[in-house]
Every structure is written in structure tokens, then in C-alpha cells.
Amino acid sequence: MIDPRLLRAEPHLFRDSQSRRGADDSIVDRFLELDASRRAAQQQFEELRAQQKKLGKQIGPARGAEKRGELTEDQQAELTQWLSEAEELSVRVKEAESKAVDLEPQVAAAANEIENLVDFEAPVGTEADFQTLFEVGTPRDFESEGFTPRDHLELGEILGAIDTDRAAKVSGSRFFYLTGDGALLELALLNLAMSFATSNGFTPVIPPALVRPPAMAGTGFLGQAEENVYRLEADDLYLVGTAEVPLAAYHSDEILDAADLPQRYVGFSPCFRREAGSHGRDTRGIIRVHQFDKVEMFSFCDPDQAVAEHQRLLSWEREFLDLLDVPYRVIDVATGDLGASAARKYDIEAWIPTQGRYREVTSTSNCTTFQSRRLNIRMRGDSGSTQPLATLNGTLIAMPRVIVALLENHQAADGSVAIPKALQPFLGGREHLVPT
RNA sequence: GGAGAUGUCGCCUAGUCUGGUUUAUGGCGCCCGCCUGCUAAGCGGGUUGAGGUUUUAAGACCUCUCGAGGGUUCAAAUCCCUCCAUCUCCGCCA
């Protein structure tokens, strides 16, 4: 949800933001019109309501006196007069109220369509217009090493670590089993990630993966992203696509003390994605799947600190990926490719040898006050007044894609895979995964 | 899943049966001030949140807010309905 006061004061900002996203900017003026008429109707209602309450305050004591038989004839007549006035007023109050109430959903719908104000520093354009910020590490030259690299699925099968055939039998396409060392590898990555995050001051959380509609709507996943969300019809619950959802909603309807900010959480959860609209893409292996596990960082902070906090999340992502010793690049995502909630987004893409290109493994977004307005999360500052705070999220590790990157980048000609040093303690000190 | 109870402005609490004279009572905590060698105690005041109107500003005023949403009524914390949550007991269950 955007800031309605800011929009009324400076609508040009929002028109500009919408067009940078390649989104409809006429919605801004539609909102302004609806908002103005709703406020006029609201005022009308409030005025009538004030009259009604005033009259009610006269009727109350008079009724009491009447019951005790203390009213003079004149007072009795006055009371009768008041009652008939009140009756008539009541009708007008109801009319005015329903007029105002009827406009509310329209105003809300218009407000909902306006996406978060983009960071005007973000590169403008569509998906391909990202800007590369860093490239770290050098892709291995397998040719000079004298062998052709196997892709992650082939390696996974040799190692007895990944089984997509049986997953297809049991659950359909885009599912997988992690077996043997594959299962142990995920657990090791999980433990490495959790110890990394907690040593950096994050509060570890294992959140629910099923949430009610307000949590989903509040985080901005029920707009154009809705088709990718699983919904459980019988219970009106959603399967989350990321721990961002239950972590953001954790403090909904709360007022946090500014002195306690930033509050940083790291959540581990399964993630469910319908992958509607991506038929035929990444059908092989475990790059694009319906269910996977992820460790997600989430921060509630002062809006003035949000840009700096975003940089911190990005550095933690990089630091963690450095531990895994995989070549990667960092990109500043273009405005047209931002989610509705995000003002700015950085993706980290790891090098995938058999594809000869970088693929997204983490993503961090600054949602400024967009989510906190929807979820009603506020902070109380020194002035004593409340204001919306900023929310930011960042992937620490998305299991399947990191497993893909590890297997492919660290493979040897014999099909074994070297385990990065930092991960070894979490795999019983082993240095390699070997074919079974 | 069955039966019962409960939900009041940070926490506790009065008010609900019997609708109006309630700007929702009181206590704790917190904030400001007074008093006092210091501290404690005492005294006075303030203390839910949201939206809006107005003002240079401080402020002033109005509406909404008693778990949520509907309804009845001239008038709802109070009466009725639906939903949500919590607690106790029973059943089932990892």
C-alpha cells in the first residue's frame, strides 16, 4: 500500500514510478478522484453523525426522567419532538454512511493497483535492462581440464542424491526427492546458513507455511503474482511461496519500539510455487520446482535506514555465497522486473557451467513502507507518534539452486564433487561426495 | 470433531443480566510537574489507536475504535446473528 498523503501531495512521483515500471499510470488519477469523493462523503456522514449524537445526549437523561415520572408537560412535548427529529436524522445518517462506505472498496482497489514507489536510482527498463554491479570468481575452464562437465541432474543421479523420476511418479513434474548425500547436503547447508545468520545477530525462526489471506495480500502476492500461489480452497489458506510471508506478517498489527530496530529474523520454510506461465522452461532437473526449502532473511527497520539495511542484506548474501566458493555476479534489477512490493531489488546469480550462464540464486528487496502499511506494522519514534516502518527481505539460501551450483561447479571428471571447506564440518568432515 | 467458558484503550479490572445521565471505572506501569539533603513515599496532571477538518505553528474541533463483521433501535461495550482467537474437559492423533 502506498502512502495516500504523499500521493495526494505529489501525484507526479507515482505517475513517474508507475511508468518506470511499465505499469498503468492512469490509475493514479483514478485513485485521486475516488479518494476525493470518498472523503467528501465521509465528511457529510460525520457531520450528520455529530448532530445525531448531540440529540441522543439530550434524549438519554430525558428518558430517565420520564421513567421516573418527573417530566412536566412541556418537557414531555419537547422529548416527543426530539424523538421524531432523531428518527428522521437516523435515516439521513444511514444514507450518508452507506454512501461513504460504498466508495471505500473502490478507493482501496485503486490504491491496491498502485505499486510501490520505485527507487529512482534503480535502472529503468524491462528484465534485460538490469545493471551488473559485481562479478566474483572465475568460471572453471573444463576444456583445459580435459573433460566435459555433467549437469546437476546427471551428477545427482550418479551420487544417489537427486531422484526426479520417482518424484514424477509420486507427485508429477517439477518435484524431486533428495536422497542419501543429497538429503544430508541440504541439512548441512541449512545448518551452515543458520549458524551464519545467528552469529550475525538474526533471530532464527521456523514459521508456518500455511497462511490466511491477509498475510498473503499484505506481502503483495495476491496481485499479478496470484496465479503462482497455491490456495487450499477447503480451508481458505495459502501455501507460502517464501518465508517472507509469515515473517513479514509476524509483527502485523503491532507497534514496535524504534529503539529495538532493526529487528532481524532468519526463517527456514518450505516454499510452494505453481510455476504457472513457465511451462517448458527449466523442465530438466531441480532449477525450477513446485516445492523447495529456503532460508530467508527478513528485517524490520526505520525507513531512513532502509537503503543501508538493503546493502547489509546484500553483503550477507555475498558473504555466504563466498563460503560456498561459487562464481557469481550481482545485478541491480530493472524497474520493470520488480515485484509490486519492491522499490529496489538486487539478485545474485551463480555461474552454472553446463548452461554457460548465470542463474538467480538469491534476491533481496527493499519494500520500504509498502508491506508495513498493508500489514499495519508501525514503529513508535522519539516524538511518540507512530509511523509505518520499512521491511526488507533477502534470500540466504534457496536449497535446490545452490545444490545445482555446488554440484556443477565443484565436480571432478570421475563424477565426485568437492565439498567447500566451510561446509565440511556440517558433513562430518568429509571433503568429497562420491558416486555410489 | 463434541461440550462449556472467556475476549474492555501497555498489563489487570468495573460496566453487559435491566440499552441512554459513560467524554468507558479504578489500579499497576510509564511520562510531566510539585514537594523533599538523596532515595522512597506523598500531591497534581497526562497516558488506545485510526481517519478527517482547520491553523504559519503549537493546537483546536469532528468521526470511528470495547476480538472481527453484520443486524435490531431515535440510541449498542450492553440485545440478536455469523466468524475468529484463547482456556478447560472429552474424542481422535505425530
Q: Are A99 and A45 in contact (CB under 8 A)?
A: yes
Same fold: A4-113 with A127-433: no
CA distances from A82 to A59, A89, A179, A237 (A): 7, 10, 80, 51
Q: Are A120 and A58 in contact (CB under 8 A)?
A: no
Known active-site residue A401: yes
Average pLDDT for chain A: 91
Q: Which nucleotide, over all strands, has the C1' atom closest to the CA of A49?
A: B63
pLDDT, position A337:
93
| Contact partners, residue A342, CB within 8 Å, separation at least 6 | A116, A365, A366, A367, A370
As a whole number of angstroms, the distance between CA A47 and CA A41 comes to: 10
Residue A64: CB less than 7 A from any atom in strand B: yes
The DSSP bridge pattern shows strands A162-163 and A344-352 to be unpaired
Q: Are A367 and A354 in contact (CB under 8 A)?
A: no
User: pLDDT higher for A257 or A333?
Assistant: A333
Q: Are A240 and A211 in contact (CB under 8 A)?
A: yes
Residue A31: CB less than 7 A from any atom in strand B: no
pLDDT, position A355:
94
Residue A378: CB less than 7 A from any atom in strand B: yes
**pLDDT, mean of residues A63-69:** 75
- Verify cis geometry, omega within 30 degrees of 0, for the bond prior to A262: yes
Show me where the domains of chain A are located.
Answer: 4-113, 127-433
Residue A160 pLDDT > 80: yes
Residue A11 pLDDT > 80: yes
Known active-site residue A357: no
pLDDT (tens digit, 9 = 90+) per residue, A180-216?
999 999 999 999 999 999 999 999 999 999 998 888 9
pLDDT (tens digit, 9 = 90+) per residue, A345-371?
999 999 999 999 999 999 999 999 999
CA–C1' distance A372–B88 (Å)? 37
Residue A422: CB less than 7 A from any atom in strand B: no
Q: Which of A282, A402, A295 lies closest to A350, judged by CA?
A: A402
pLDDT, position A95:
85
Give the rounded distance of the alpha carbon of A7 from its chain centre. 22
CA–C1' distance A309–B87 (Å)? 41
CATH of A127-433, one of 3.40.50.720, 3.30.930.10, 3.90.1150.10, 3.40.50.2020: 3.30.930.10
Residue A210: CB less than 7 A from any atom in strand B: no
Residue A12: CB less than 7 A from any atom in strand B: no
| Contact partners, residue A276, CB within 8 Å, separation at least 6 | A227, A228
Q: Residue A90: in which H helix or E strand, if any?
A: helix A73-113
pLDDT, position A17:
96
Give one DSSP letter per residue of A377-435, joined into a string.
EEEE-TTS-EEE-EEEEEEEEEHHHHHHHHHHHTB-TTS-EEPPGGGGGGGTT--EE--
Query: pTM of the prediction?
Result: 0.91
| Contact partners, residue A299, CB within 8 Å, separation at least 6 | A262, A263, A264, A265, A309, A313, A391, A392, A393
CA–C1' distance A78–B53 (Å)? 32
What percent of chain A stands above pLDDT 70?
100
Q: Which nucleotide, over all strands, has the C1' atom closest to the CA of A56?
A: B75
Amino acid at A200: N
Per-residue pLDDT band for A123 (boundaries 50, 70, 90) equals very high
For residue A105, give the C-alpha cell.
472498496
Known active-site residue A312: no
pLDDT (tens digit, 9 = 90+) per residue, A382-403?
667 788 999 999 999 999 999 9
Known active-site residue A273: yes
Residue A125 pLDDT > 90: yes
Known active-site residue A288: yes
Phi-psi region of A285 (alpha: psi -120 to 50; beta: other; left: phi over 0): left
As a whole number of angstroms, the distance between CA A333 and CA A119 comes to: 11
Query: What ipTM score was computed for the predicted complex, to two decimals?
Result: 0.84
Catalytic residue among A17, A269, A363, A365: A363
CA–C1' distance A410–B15 (Å)? 72
Amino acid at A256: L
**pLDDT, mean of residues A408-417:** 95
Q: Are A376 and A253 in contact (CB under 8 A)?
A: yes
Q: Are A180 and A296 in contact (CB under 8 A)?
A: no
Angle between helices A399-409 and A306-324 (to 10 degrees): 40
Place of cell 530467508: A296
Greatest mean pLDDT among A69-73, A222-226, A374-378: A374-378
Which residues from 212-271 of A have any strand B atom under 7 Å from their CB?
255
pLDDT, position A98:
85
Question: Can you tell me whether residue A30 is helix, strand or coil?
Answer: helix
Catalytic residue among A231, A288, A329, A359: A288
**pLDDT, mean of residues A62-85:** 79
Catalytic residue among A38, A150, A174, A273: A273
CATH of A4-113, one of 1.10.1740.10, 1.10.287.40, 1.10.3370.10, 2.40.50.100: 1.10.287.40
Residue A89 pLDDT > 80: yes
The region of weakest confidence among A1-10, A274-283, A352-361, A405-414 is: A274-283
